[in-house]
């Protein structure tokens, strides 16, 4: 394995769904991931994670009443790992043609291919991607099936940790948001409360 965590099972120009190789092991909310093929590195933010039954007609049933812990439940029912799957729904936020020096904060010409491998981004990649905040305007306009503001805040919190001065990064991001959300002060206030550096773990 080369660090890949899943593969694309559904893709459109703006977003894709990937299935995690390991049940319950999707990237965290707001995490930056990359799908690479021969032409492009496509960057996306993890926006919605779901774990469901493989068969849409059969919902899982509760079976842990007599088990000591959820872990014990899975240990006693090893088939569960094959009956369930974890998917993560990602919002495409940028790309880099192979060989190009800089990341472009806009959509690639085409979506990632089905079965494209999904990799988590390294701290260096995350720092490079968030060294400019030009992806924020499009992100704030993401479709409402994503928890947009939570996604923005989680992404920025994670990014702040890979920058040399996390507080300065959060302040710059906050100011950018304040200008972008001039006409939505209540939304801004809620977003800033989530972005605060001491606001807890992402």
Partner 1 sequence: MSERDLPTGRRLGQVVSGALSKGLTVRLEGGVSVEEMAVGRYVVIHGQRRTFFGMITDVRLELAHPHLGVAPPDLSDPFIAAVVQGTSLYATLEVLPLLVLSETGAPQPVKTVPSHFAPVAEATEGDVQRVFGPEDIHHFYIGQPLDMNVRVCLNLPRLVERSSGVFGKSGTGKTFLTRLLLIGLVQKSPAVTLVFDMHNEYGWAGTSEDHGRPVKGLKQLFGARVAIFSLDPSSTRARGASPDYTVEIGYHEITADDIDLLQDALGLSPAAVETVRRLARHYGDDRWFEAFLATTPEERADLAKSQGLNPGTLDVLHRKLENRLQRLPFLKPRVTESAVQRILEYLLKGIHVVLEFGRHHSLDAYLLVANILTRRIHERYVDLTERAMGERNAEPRPLVIVIEEAHKFLNPRVADLTTFGTIAREMRKYNVTLLVVDQRPSSIADEVMSQIGTRITCLLDDEKDITAVLAGIPNGQALRNVLARLETKRQALILGHAVPMPVVIRTREYGSEQSYREIMAATPGQRDGRHSLEFLQRLADP
* Residue ranges in contact with partner 1 by CB under 8 A: 167, 170-171, 174-175, 177-179, 182-186, 188-189, 192-193, 195-198
User: What gap in Å lies between CA 186 and CA 72, rounded to an integer?
Assistant: 45
Q: Which is nearest to 17 in space by CA: 36, 35, 39? A: 35
Q: Which is nearer to partner 1, 24 or 132 (CB)?
A: 132
Q: Which is nearer to partner 1, 73 or 171 (CB)?
A: 171
Q: Which is nearer to partner 1, 71 or 198 (CB)?
A: 198
Q: Which is nearer to partner 1, 102 or 168 (CB)?
A: 168
Closest approach of Cβ 183 to partner 1, in Å? Answer: 6
User: What gap in Å lies between CA 137 and CA 106, rounded to an integer?
Assistant: 11
Closest approach of Cβ 106 to partner 1, in Å? Answer: 24
Q: Which is nearest to 47 in space by CA: 17, 5, 79, 6? A: 17
Q: How many CB atoms lie within 10 A of CB 72?
A: 12
Q: Which is nearer to partner 1, 128 or 192 (CB)?
A: 192
User: What gap in Å lies between CA 168 and CA 96, rounded to an integer?
Assistant: 27
Closest approach of Cβ 194 to partner 1, in Å? Answer: 11
Closest approach of Cβ 153 to partner 1, in Å? Answer: 13
Beta carbons of 85 and 23 less than 8 angstroms apart: yes
- The angle at the Cα of 146, spanning 25 to 62, to the nearest 5 degrees, equals 50
Closest approach of Cβ 32 to partner 1, in Å? Answer: 23
Beta carbons of 44 and 93 less than 8 angstroms apart: yes
């Amino acid at each position: 394995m080369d660090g890949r965590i899943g593969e694309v099972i559904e893709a459109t120009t703006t977003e894709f769904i990937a299935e995690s190789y390991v049940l319950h092991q999707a990237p965290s909310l707001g995490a930056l991931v990359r799908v690479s093929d021969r032409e492009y590195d496509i960057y996306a933010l993890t926006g919605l994670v779901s774990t469901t039954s493989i068969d849409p007609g059969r919902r899982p049933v509760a079976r842990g009443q007599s088990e000591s812990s959820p872990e014990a439940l899975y240990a006693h029912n090893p088939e569960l790992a094959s009956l369930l799957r974890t998917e993560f729904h990602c919002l495409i936020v940028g790309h880099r043609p192979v060989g190009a020096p800089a990341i472009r904060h806009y959509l690639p010409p085409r979506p990632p291919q089905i079965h494209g491998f999904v990799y988590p981004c390294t701290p260096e990649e995350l720092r490079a991607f968030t060294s400019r905040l030009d992806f924020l305007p499009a992100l704030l306009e993401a479709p409402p099936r994503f928890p947009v503001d939570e996604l923005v805040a989680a992404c920025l919190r994670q990014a702040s940790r890979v920058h040399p001065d996390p507080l300065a990064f959060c302040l710059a991001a906050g100011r950018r948001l304040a200008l972008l959300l001039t006409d939505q002060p209540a939304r801004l206030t809620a977003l800033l409360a989530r972005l605060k550096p001491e606001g807890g773990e992402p």
